[in-house]
Every structure is written in C-alpha cells, then in structure tokens.
Structure 1
Amino acid sequence: MNVKYWLPRSFLILKEGYSARHFSSDIVAGITVAIIALPLAMAFAIASGVGPEKGLFTAIVAGFIISLLGGSRYQIGGPTGAFVVVLYGVILKHGYDGLAIATFIAGAILFLMGLFKLGNIIKFIPYPVTVGFTSGIALIIFSSQMKDFFGLPIASMPAAFVDQWQLYSTQFMHINYYALAIGLVSMILLIKLRHIFPKIPAPIVVIVLSSAVVFFFNMPVETIGSKFGHLPSTLPYPHIPTFSFEKIRLVFPDAITIALLGAIESLLSCVVADGMTGDRHHSNKELMAQGLANIGSVLFGGIAATGAIARTATNIKSGAYSPISGMIHAVMLLVFMFLFAQLILLIPLAALAAILVVVAWNMSEFHHFKAIALKSERNDVIVLLITFFLTVLIDLNTGVQTGIMLAGILFIKRMIDVTDIEDKKEQVCMSFDEEDEPYEMEDIHAISKKSVPLGVEVYEINGPFFFGIADRLKNILNEIEESPKIFILRMRHVPMIDATGLHALEEFLDLCKGNGTVLVLSGVNERIKGKIKRIGLDIQIGQDNITDHIDSALDRTNEILAKESRHAVCEH
C-alpha cells in the first residue's frame, strides 16, 4: 500500500517546508475568507430551512476537516447553494433529524467513493446535466428568497417552485416596503462593490450597513434575532444522530443526491482552483475528506457541506499558500461567533435574501445555459432542458437522475452509431497534409491487400464491442447467402468488450458451428483475450483460432482448409 498516496495535502505541504512568511500569507487569506463566509454560511442555512447557527457550525467543523484532510491546496469547504434545494425538501419531509441521518449517510458514501478511487469518474458527468441542475437550483434559490426580499408575512414556505409562486400571488399585497428597500439597496451595493472595489468583501459591508440602519432607525423588518431568537456563541457538544432502519430507508435517496452533489461541487471547485494556480488536486483524497467533513458536521449539529467555488477563489486571490488558510478560516469563524453572537442577531433577513439572489444569479451560469441551448447538438439541448425543468418543476433528485440516465442513453446511441461491423473489400483511411487538406492513405493491412481463399468471409468490428452492437453480430450469418467455411472476425479496432458482447460472441460461435463454419478471431488485444479466457470461451473457439494479426488469422485459415482438403482426399 502506498501510504503517500493517501496522505492529506496539508501533511505533504508541511513536510516539504513551511515558513513564517507562508503562515503570514495563510493568516491574511484565512481571515479574508472567514469575513466573506460568515454571512454566506448563515444565509445558506436559513435558505435550507434551519437556523443560522447550523450554517456556522458547518462552516467551522466541515471547513476545518476539508482543509486538514483534503486533496486540494486551496479548497474552502462549507454550506453552499447547491444543497439548499435538497436540504429544504428533506427538512420539510423528515425534520432536522432526517436531514442529519441523510447527511451522515452521504458522508459515508463520499468517503467510500474516494476510498474506491471513483474521483475521476465523477468528472465525467455530462456538462449539460451539471449546467441544467445548477441553473435549476439557482432559479429555485431565487424563488425561495422572494419571501424575505419583499418582507412577506408567510409563516411556512413550500418547497415546490410552482407552489411558492401560487402562494406569493396571494401575498404580494402585503409587501413590507422597508424590507424591499433594504433588499434592493443591498443588491445594488453587492453588484457595484464587486465591480468597483473587488477586494472589499461586499457581503460583510452589506450586512454591517443594513444591520446598522435597521437598528438605529428601528425599522419594522424581520431580523435573525426576531425570527430565531438566541444564537449560541460556541460549538455544541458532539451528538450522534438516532438511526433506525425506517428513517434510513426514507432518506436514502436524498443521501445519494447529497453525496452526488457534494462530489460534483467539490471536484468542480478543485478544478477551478487548479486552473487559477496551475496546481493539481487529488480527487480521491478530496472525496474522502468531504465524506468525513459531512459526518463531522452532523455530529456538531451542522448540515451538508462541500467545496465552495467562490470562497476558494477568494482564498487564492487573497494569497493563500496552503490548506492552513482554510483551517484558519474555520477558526476565525468560531472566533467571530464567540465575539459577535449578539450583533449577528441584528442582521435583517432582507439583506441575506439579497446576498442569495446575487449568489443565485452567479450560480445560474446563464451564458453557459444559453450557449448549450442555442449552439449545441440537439441531444445535448434535450438533456439540458429536461434536467433543468425537472429540477425546477419536480425536484432535484428527479432532475439529476433523469438527466444522467438520459445522457447515458444518448451516449449509448452515439456509441452504437460509431461502432459498426463491415465486410470491407477495400479499407481506406483519411489523413491530413500540412495545409489541412485531406488525402487518402491506404491501409497496408486492408483485406484487399491480402490473399483470401474462396469460402472465407472477413468482417471487421470498429469500435467498442458492447451490448449496443451485439444484435448486429448475430444477424451477419443470415445476411450471407451461402455459409462460409471459415469466418474471420477482425477486432483490431475493438478497445473493449462487455459481458453482453462476450455473450453475443458465444452465441455467434454456436451459429457458426451450426452452419459448419469455423470462427477465427483476428487482432484480439491482450485485455480482450483475458476476458475471453476467463469465461472459457477460448476453449470453445479454439486457442489456435484466436490470433493477434490478420496475417496470423489467414495462416490459420490456410491450415484449416489444407487439413480439410487432406481429410477429404483420404476419405475419397
């Protein structure tokens, strides 16, 4: 076992050498990120249907663990917008206890995904699916914030997008114009400060100013204090959720969604960080750390966590050197909570709603959505729109699962379209000259260049030999007018074969034997040979009839024909 492979990135960086100058850079970055994370952590928690303190618990505990044990040099972890839709739905259906169990299970799933080295697979979820559900989540976050943005007197918000707007339509005559003014001014400040003074943490400026205005002018708007009452100034004692088989069964689909979202969001954040710095993250270490972070978050009364792209980018821009900055960010959040718990109660919910409206716009990736919808292939557009509308109109579970399933089906169709079985009399491939002009380049191993005896058919599979091509192989003998003495199946361009392909090959062999035809395989690579041998198909075909080159296959063909000829002469 390679111990270094599994060592967290923080350990490796400290082992390489860590100076006082590096620590100074990490302190500045950590404090800067903590200032930005403070309002975001509370806003995401409130939007998820829990108290603001649970967002802080999550950012502190999960943020520390992700930086300590993760595979990225710069990743900042905590609650994010990606989870808001799922967590709010779980809270409505199963309460916080159900959410805690779902998050705990999701953490275990994430850890196992990293342990079994599935990190690279997560990166291959189709881009239209990720854009579709991310844009859907952004729209739902925007929708959910209209209550606090307009100060509407709604006691309980439904989770469904359509239900929310049906409820809004009956409440808009009760708009709190003080809350609306705070929300609009806050949103304008967030946008302007970001463009004019990008280094100033706009969310904290908005929070401080809006809280001061509400306090000094005694504005009749809802605040964190008026809605949630007391805010703890320290972390609670760890507590293990109460598990039962019935609860696990009910929340398991949500746990899978949380794990999948956490994996996608965290690895996407790592990729963004790598692009900004030239660094290279370790995806499997990162998934294991994300898993432990979610378990740790639940033990301390938090919610689901993952890598936060915006906070990670801020960490890099603030001069972070190592994961120590992420740990400092978590510690500073604990300090802020201890020192400013009473002041946090003054924050108006309309200001937090404005922050989340801006977050939703940034999440929506509108330009990417528009580019795929208007310029991509029809299949990608279909996947994008179905994922988006199912996420918004049904729920995130349905949207993600249907999007991935549909993308998989379309991928299989593409693979079937590019994989063929042909009887090629002349094989010509295309190449390009220095001026990108195509010209024909002859295949020196084409059948047209070989001497093929009478009574021998040569067919070639081009592409993966999987279930999508299996039926075509079975029908080949029916298409040939007279059964050949020998059938050569060329597989030089077959990179892989699955269980259905092996079964189809076995059935094709039986058809050949029934017609008195000898099957010879040509160009079989070592990996496919191993799979054929593993199921004993090499004995049925005949080991001499499995060759690695067309010349060997033709030599074997001549041997079989010569042997049959001698046998016929002897009988005569």
Structure 2
Amino acid sequence: MSQHAAPTRWRLFIPKLVTCIKEGYGWPHLKADGIAGLTVAIVALPLAMALAIASGTTPERGLITVIIAGFVISAFGGSRFQIGGPTGAFVVVVYGIIAQYGYDGLVLATLMAGALLVLAGLAGFGTWIKYVPQPVVVGFTAGIAVIIFSSQVKDFLGLAIEQPPAGFAAQWQSYLTHIDLIHPTTLALALASLGLIIALRRWRPQAPGFLIAVTVAAAATALFTLPVETIGTRFGGIPSTLPSPSLPRIDFARLAELLPSAFTIAFLAGVESLLSAVVADGMTGRRHRSNCELVAQGLANSASVAFGGIPATGAIARTATNIRAGGRTPFAGIFHALFVLLFMLLLAPLASFVPLAGLAAVLFIVAWNMSEVDRFKRLLLHAPWDERLVLVITFGLTVAVDLTVAIEVGVVFAAMLFMHRMTRAVAIQSHDLLIEEDQEDTLDAANGNGKDGMRAALPPGVEAYQIRGPFFFGVADLLGEVMERISAPPKIFILRMRLVPMVDATGAQALESFVARCRRHDTEVILTGLQPQPREVLDRMGLLARQGVREESDFRSAVEKLTFAAPEAN
C-alpha cells in the first residue's frame, strides 16, 4: 500500500501541460490554442498596464507580469485553461506595500509569498482553500472593487492632485476639496471610453472592448493633440525589451517585517487561482490539480518579481475568455504570454499615447465586475444573519482599514460562528430522551415500546447517555454536565458514541476527565459504537488502555451482557 502511495501522490504534481502532450497534441490543438491565446492577449494588454498603474507602479511592470508569470503558470500549473497575470485583488495590497516599503519591499514580500505557496502546495494545502467562507471572499472582493474605483476617480476626472491620500475616506475628502479642478477634456475622454466599453459589451460582446476603447482614446489623443495626461507624460513610455532578472539585497530584519504582507499575497494568490480553476472546471467538465497549481503560482510569483513584475494569480475573467475562445490546453496560456511579449517588443512606442483617463475607464469596469453586486446583494438579503455579519465586517474592514486585517478578522469571525453553530448541533442525551429514529438500537424491536421500552430494558444501576455530533473543543464541557444531572452515581455508565464522527484532542481530554470522575464514584464506563476516527484518537492518547475503559461494538450487545450477568451478581 505504502509503495504505491508516494508515486500516486507525486503524480498530482505533474503539470497539465505534460498530461496534454502525452494525450497527443496536433495541429487542431495548436490552431485552437493560438487563436485563444491571441484573444486573451488582446484583453490582457490594456488591463495589465491599467492594473499596474492602479497598484502604484509603472505600466511595463504589468506587462512583464503577464509575460513571465502567465508563461510559468501555464507551463507548470495544474489547470488546462488557467490564464495568469496581475488581477484587481492585488491592487490594494501592492499599492500599500510599495507606498510603505518601496518596490524592493514588494519584491521581498512576493518572493516569500512564492516560497509559502510552493510549501503549501507540497504540503497538500490546495484542497484547504475551499474552506474559506464565501461571505469572506465576496466581502473582501467587493471591498477591493470599491477601493479600485475610488483610486481611479482622480484620473477619470483629471483632478490636479499630486498624490491623493491612501485611505478611502481621505481620498474622497481630497476629491471633494478639489472638485472645482475637474479637467473637462479628460472627463469627456474618460466618459467616451467608458461609454464605448459599455456599448461594445452590450451590442458586440465578442469584441475586445478594453483594447478598442484604449486604442480609440490613444488615437484621439495623438490626432487632436488633446491636453490630457498619458503614459508618456507620466511614465515616459514603456521599454520595448524585457529587463534582466535581479533581486534586491536580502535583509533578514526586513523579511520579518514583510512577513504579514507575504502571507496576504500568498493567500490572495492561492484563493483566486483555485477559484479560477474551479470556474474553469465548471465550464469544461475537467478537473484541476490544486496542489500543482499552488506550486506553479509560487514559482510564477517569484519569477515575476525577479524580472521586475508584480504579484500574479489566476485571472477568472481571462480564464473564462480563454475557454470561450476555444483554448484546449495550457499552450493557450503560453501563447497569450508570448503575444503580449510580441506586442511589447513591437508596439511599445505607441503606448506613450494611451491616456490615463482611458485606463481609468477600463478599471471602472473591472471594479464593477469584481464587486459581484448580485452575489453581494443575495448574501446580504438572504443569507443567515451570522454570514451577513461576516460579509459586512469583511467588506467594511477592507474599505476602511486594511485588506490583511479584513481577511484575518473575517476568517476568524466566520470560524467562531461556525463553531457556535456546531456546538448547538451537538447533543448529549440521556437514554430516556433518545429520539424515535434510533429504533435500530432497541433491544427488542418486537416488544420494545419506543423510549419507554428502551429505558425499561436497562438493568438496575445502569445509566446510558448518547453523544450526537462531532465531539470537539467547542462542546467538550457538555460532558462534564452529565454527572450533574444524575442524582446518584450509577454502577455502570454506558456512553453511546455511534453518532460521533470525530473526536479532537480536547474532546478526548474531556472524556478522560469524565472517566476519572466516574471512577472516583466507583462507576464503570463502557463506550459503545466507536467509529474509526474517535477510536484512533482515543487509542493514540492512551485513554482506553490507561483508564481501563471497556468498549463494546454496539449498545445492544453491551446491555445484553449486563442483563445476562445480573443474576450471577445477585
């Protein structure tokens, strides 16, 4: 068994690209992947520059991220269709890190995040990401959307503000203070770009709306010499070559300082990439390899910042575009990265004419798509009250405080509420309070009369209780209350555990304390119906052997033995 376990495990880390090649890769696949890669590259080109600018860095860093990270994610990832690159989820995090620690700080944080993702994948944590509660994901995603929208108001209106404040409230206070400085030409160009994107989405949904709008805006700016801010005026254009890889000086004190940021980057990259892979699976009927995908995300993020890029992850919208465009294998993602590289090499000088107002319009649409208004509204109006509370808290903290704090508080609060619900779902019932569905355990199905028959079947001096549900730390104290309910300690106490699927260390300790308390009253404890996981935990912690607890396979056999032995005892 163990000889085959390791090979089976390591097969889960074989990139899907290798699998697709082994299945046979011919001209039809190449043609389909090439067309899909070009389609996605056209979408990614303006988006990468816009997201990089919104993140507080230069547009070429977004293009580098698409080229390097997009290539690595497709080449080594666990999904056939995943398209990687910069996404809106990272805008807030990257902006904050660069503002506080500079770009070198971002590089160090992302390198640590890459290592964390690789370790998480190798440790098998890929399947754990799905346990992040939906209200937390929707809450911080909607919060990020609001922040992205807010950050682009300056460029959309053409406000003459050197550098707007970082906080949401401070930003809007600054905007309102300078509202009289709106630049009419910039606003008109931004509204025209936004209107064109919306019109194309409605009447020509297959058209690359972002690229068309940005191209038209750039052409108008160049032809009419519009007095608006462009990539050229703010950043001096973009280079037409990839930089050589380089890393900043590693300072261990700084690494410790950047560790929380690294965890945030790793968390976002892991969650969004696996969510994207799940969406792709739903659209195609395929299955991704989650741990292989995490390893690829770690490698891609490290490679991206080594070449001068920013953090990357799987992009849900671009992955869906790849599928709809006919992409069949990871080669589509590789082609998408190569086409963006080609655009950068050949068209870099033209990017200088792209107006920032046009890119702000693109990010307005990105923010709207990220906000998932319908899903947010559905959770807010129809979810249980505690999940609504998690949603609102996560959203509010993301907008008003910090994304890292929002995720930490949201996940912890959701976990506490879940444990509270689980605690209410667990019950410890006395034998005469057992519900009717337990008829398979009645001692005499023909003559037993429900609860009364079951209670009467117990010999004198015998008490029986049943635990229902997982016996974990949140409910361990319930067992201590059992002896308080019994007026006189019985000679034998039967604890039925057939309906206990799992026991944790705290539950085992509570059970051991209960057994010790019973022994002080000369009460023998019998456990019945132990399932495999509880038996393994109790054996490992030595409870059964150390405390001399008797175990029976089921309640019926335990009572029959007691009934048979009763005359001899007398």
Q: Structure 2-normalised TM-score?
A: 0.95
How many residues matched?
553
Q: Is 1:210 matched with 2:217?
A: yes
Residue in structure 1 matched with residue 98 of structure 2 by the alignment? 91
Between 16-25 and 231-240, the greater mean CA deviation after superposition: 231-240
User: C-alpha distance in 2, partners of 1:244/1:453?
Assistant: 72
Equivalent position to 2:70, from 53, 60, 63: 63
User: C-alpha distance in 1, partners of 2:92/2:86?
Assistant: 12
SS at 2:496 equivalent: strand
User: C-alpha distance in 2, partners of 1:509/1:456?
Assistant: 15
Q: Is 1:498 matched with 2:504?
A: yes
Check the 8 A contact 1:419/1:464 in 2, yes or no.
Answer: yes
Equivalent position to 1:546, from 535, 551, 555: 551
User: C-alpha distance in 1, partners of 2:561/2:518?
Assistant: 17
User: C-alpha distance in 2, partners of 1:304/1:157?
Assistant: 23
Check the 8 A contact 1:241/1:299 in 2, yes or no.
Answer: no
SS at 1:6 equivalent: coil
Residue in structure 2 matched with residue 522 of structure 1 by the alignment? 528
- Given residue 68 of structure 1, which amino acid in structure 2 is its aligned partner? A
Q: Is 1:315 matched with 2:322?
A: yes
Q: Where do residues 71-470 of structure 1 align in structure 2 (5 Å cutoff)? A: 71-425=78-432, 427-429=434-436, 443-446=439-442, 448=451, 450=454, 451-470=457-476
**Cα deviation 1:221-244 (Å, max 9, x = unaligned):** 110011011421111111123221
User: C-alpha distance in 2, partners of 1:541/1:109?
Assistant: 42
**Cα deviation 1:361-396 (Å, max 9, x = unaligned):** 011011111111111111111111011101100011
- Given residue 443 of structure 1, which amino acid in structure 2 is its aligned partner? Q
User: C-alpha distance in 2, partners of 1:241/1:528?
Assistant: 51
The alpha-carbon distance between structure 1 residues 415 and 59, as it changes in their structure 2 partners (threshold 3 A), is: same
Report deviation, 1:157: 2.8
Q: Where do residues 475-494 of structure 1 align in structure 2 (5 Å cutoff)? A: 475-494=481-500
Report deviation, 1:454: 0.8
The alpha-carbon distance between structure 1 residues 453 and 330, as it changes in their structure 2 partners (threshold 3 A), is: same
Q: Is 1:509 matched with 2:534?
A: no
Report deviation, 1:546: 1.6
User: C-alpha distance in 1, partners of 2:432/2:480?
Assistant: 21
Check the 8 A contact 1:426/1:446 in 2, yes or no.
Answer: no
The alpha-carbon distance between structure 1 residues 561 and 533, as it changes in their structure 2 partners (threshold 3 A), is: farther
SS at 2:431 equivalent: coil
Report deviation, 1:194: 1.1
Report deviation, 1:559: 7.5
Between 280-289 and 56-65, the greater mean CA deviation after superposition: 280-289
- Given residue 521 of structure 2, which amino acid in structure 1 is its aligned partner? N
Residue in structure 1 matched with residue 446 of structure 2 by the alignment? none
Residue in structure 1 matched with residue 3 of structure 2 by the alignment? none
**Cα deviation 1:282-336 (Å, max 9, x = unaligned):** 1111111111110111111111000001111111111111100000000111110
SS at 2:527 equivalent: strand
User: C-alpha distance in 2, partners of 1:329/1:553?
Assistant: 67
The alignment's C-alpha RMSD in Å is 1.5
Unaligned runs of 5+ in 1: 430-440, 567-572
Unaligned runs of 5+ in 2: 1-5, 444-450
Report deviation, 1:78: 0.1
Check the 8 A contact 1:427/1:443 in 2, yes or no.
Answer: no
**Cα deviation 1:467-507 (Å, max 9, x = unaligned):** 11111101211221011111111000101001110110111
The runs of 4+ residues in structure 1 deviating greater than 6 Å are none
Equivalent position to 1:533, from 536, 539, 546: 539
User: C-alpha distance in 2, partners of 1:530/1:120?
Assistant: 23
SS at 2:432 equivalent: coil
Report deviation, 1:541: 3.3
SS at 2:12 equivalent: helix
Task: Report sequence identity in percent.
Answer: 49
